[in-house]
Structure formats: C-alpha cells, structure tokens
Amino acid sequence: MRALLLYLAGQEGFKNFALKFKLFHDTAMRFVAGESLEDAVRAVRQTNLQGLSGTLDLLGENTLTPEDADNARREVLEVIDRVRAERVNCNISVKLTQLGLDLDPELAFQNLMGIAKHARDAGNFVRVDMESSRYTGITLDIVMRAHAELGNVGTVIQSCLYRSERDTVDLVKRGIRVRLVKGAYLEPESVAFRKKKETDANFSKLMRILLASETYNAIATHDESLISEAMEFARSRGISKDRFEFQMLFGIRRELQLRLAQEGYNVRVYIPYGKRWYPYFMRRLAERPANVAFILRNLFKK
C-alpha cells in the first residue's frame, strides 16, 4: 500500500495525490479515534455514554532510541492522568516495543513499571498488548515480573499460536488477567495455525479455560459464533456476566457491541489513537479484505 501511494504521488501530481491520501487517511479514521489525546478522550466519553467501557492505546511500536521510548512512557502517563481527571471508564493498553523492547528488555520493563505504578496510584489497570510471535516469550516474562510486583498488569494471548494453551494455563495460575484474541500478525507455520478453523477451535478451547478461572478476563472477538459459545459456556457453568467481559475494536461491529451491553454483558472497546496509525490500519485491512476493496475502488475513481 505504501508503494501504491508513492506511485500515485508521482503519476498524478501532489494535489490529486493529496486527495487520494485524504481518502486513505479518512478510511483509517474509521478504526482510529484520531491523532490527538483530545480525540481519544472524546471517543472514550462517547463510548461510555453508550454503556461501554474503553481501553486507550497510544499507537506506536518498535521505537529506535531510548529517548523515543521515554517519550512514549511520558505520553502514556499523560493519558492516565487525563483519564483520571475526566473520570471516564477506561484503562490503558501499551506495546513493549513502543517502550524500548527492541533496544533493551530491561528498559522496556522499567518503562512499563513506571506506567503501571502511575496507573495503580490512579486506580487504573494496564494491559500489555501482544505483538508478533518473536516477542511472545519476552513479553510474557516482563508481564509476569510486573504483575508480581504491582498486580495491575495484564496481557494478551493469541489463539493462532501453538504455544498459547500452555501460556494461558500459566497466566491463569498466576492470576494474570488475559485478553484472548485470534491474532493479527502474519506468522510462520512453524509457530502458528494456518487455517482459520484451527485458530477458531483453539480460541474456543482457551476461552473455556479463561472463563472457568477466578480471574476477570476478556474475550476479544467480533465472531458471533464464538461470542455465542462463550455465552453458552458461561451459562452452563453458572458464570455470572460480571465475571468477564467482551472486547471489540473501535469502529467495528458497533451494533453488536451495543446489543451485548443491553443484554447485561460487560463490553470494552479498544480505542487506538495517535499519529502512528499506519501499521495498525494495515493490520485491520489484512483482517478485513472488504476494506482493501473499498480503498482501491475509491483511489482509482476519477
């Protein structure tokens, strides 16, 4: 997609390219709350008014310098302060590569600890997002360390990975809160299921482990069949609706989010924001091919 945009810039002139890029940007904003913290808080407030909670994610990953990682830490601290000041129902999501994991795992850990301590003082919770499989082991190690010291740190498990059942059992034993997702990264066959039905079957298995645990966990999917499975499993085991939550992405299946909330389920919306929206948007396109078709149709309209 980046190459496509550069091609258009060369072929059609800056003005026409700017119009095309605006369409690309505006489409991305279907899935991103905006580029500023003001945009993000506005989206959280609107989400809360609909009976849903939120989790804010300052977009960015794979920082290149310690200074960039420290800047990201400072920005997340600002998010925590703003959430507290606005009294909105929202927790925080972070990525360890944004906090310096590629530079030094200890740097990322210390940055996470600073964020988690600040969040704990504000009565808030921090979720460490899971990135590609190359980071899974070190991410879990850092999360376990941080949780052991502070308690208000959770993470994410991707059902597409072979290792996820073992990791889920380990996290449950430690009382660490988990968000279960299918996974949005292109992974090699050596570590991940290749077929959707295999990923879905593993999601279903892990969902049962999480719902049966004593920890408050999150089932994050837009797949109504898997949501129905979770609801039925919870009913069959006498698991009350306040023992877990469903999570969904900002801008996707809003009607389903509202319906679940109206039925008495806790629903949290993952709300990303920031100037570094491109990688996040490309993953959303990869998950939803219809979005690619929409972009291409409109890019080549005269």
Residue 209 shares a structural domain with residue 263: yes
List b or e across 246-260, with b for residues whose CB sees 16 or more CB atoms inside 10 angstroms. bbbbbbbbeeebeeb
Phi (first) and psi of residue 130, to 5 degrees: -95, 135
pLDDT at 195 over 70: yes
Please choose, from the candidates 75, 30, 29, the residue with its C-alpha nearest in 3D space to the C-alpha of residue 56.
Answer: 75
Residue 143 shares a structural domain with residue 212: yes
Q: Which of 57, 73, 127, 129 is catalytic?
A: 129
Identify the weakest region by mean pLDDT among 68-72, 169-173, 196-200, 292-296. Answer: 292-296
What angle is formed at CA 278 by the lines to CA 275 and CA 282, rounded to 5 degrees? 155
* 277 touches 26 (CB < 8 A): no
- Give 104-159 pLDDT, tens digit per residue: 999 999 999 999 999 999 999 999 999 999 999 999 999 999 999 999 999 999 99
Please choose, from the candidates 114, 140, 118, the residue with its C-alpha nearest in 3D space to the C-alpha of residue 128.
Answer: 140
Q: What is the three-class DSSP state of 157?
A: strand
Residue 245, domain CATH: 3.20.20.220
- Give 33-70 pLDDT, tens digit per residue: 988 999 999 999 999 999 999 999 999 889 999 999 99
pLDDT at 25 over 80: no
Report the pLDDT value the prediction gives residue 11, as an integer from 0 to 100.
44
Task: Extract the tokens encoding 129.
Answer: 């997002």
Q: Is 129 a catalytic residue?
A: yes
Residue 175 shares a structural domain with residue 295: no
Residue 54 shares a structural domain with residue 28: no
- Give 206-262 pLDDT, tens digit per residue: 999 999 999 999 999 999 999 999 999 999 999 999 999 999 999 888 999 999 999
Domain hosting residue 197, numbered range: 34-276
18 or 144, which is more confident? 144
Report the pLDDT value the prediction gives residue 275, as an integer from 0 to 100.
84
Residue 108 shares a structural domain with residue 16: no
Residue 139 shares a structural domain with residue 5: no
Report the pLDDT value the prediction gives residue 18, as an integer from 0 to 100.
47
Residue 245 shares a structural domain with residue 209: yes
Report the pLDDT value the prediction gives residue 56, as an integer from 0 to 100.
98
Residue 301 shares a structural domain with residue 221: no
Task: Extract the tokens encoding 155.
Answer: 């993470």
- Give 182-191 pLDDT, tens digit per residue: 998 889 999 9
Residue 177 shares a structural domain with residue 232: yes
Residue 238 shares a structural domain with residue 297: no
Q: Which of 179, 200, 268, 284 is catalytic?
A: 179
* 135 touches 163 (CB < 8 A): no
Residue 166 shares a structural domain with residue 232: yes
Measured in whole angstroms, the distance separating CA 176 from the mean position of its chain's CA atoms is 17
pLDDT mean over 271-298: 65
Give how many domains the chain has, as a whole number. 2
Residue 45 shares a structural domain with residue 26: no
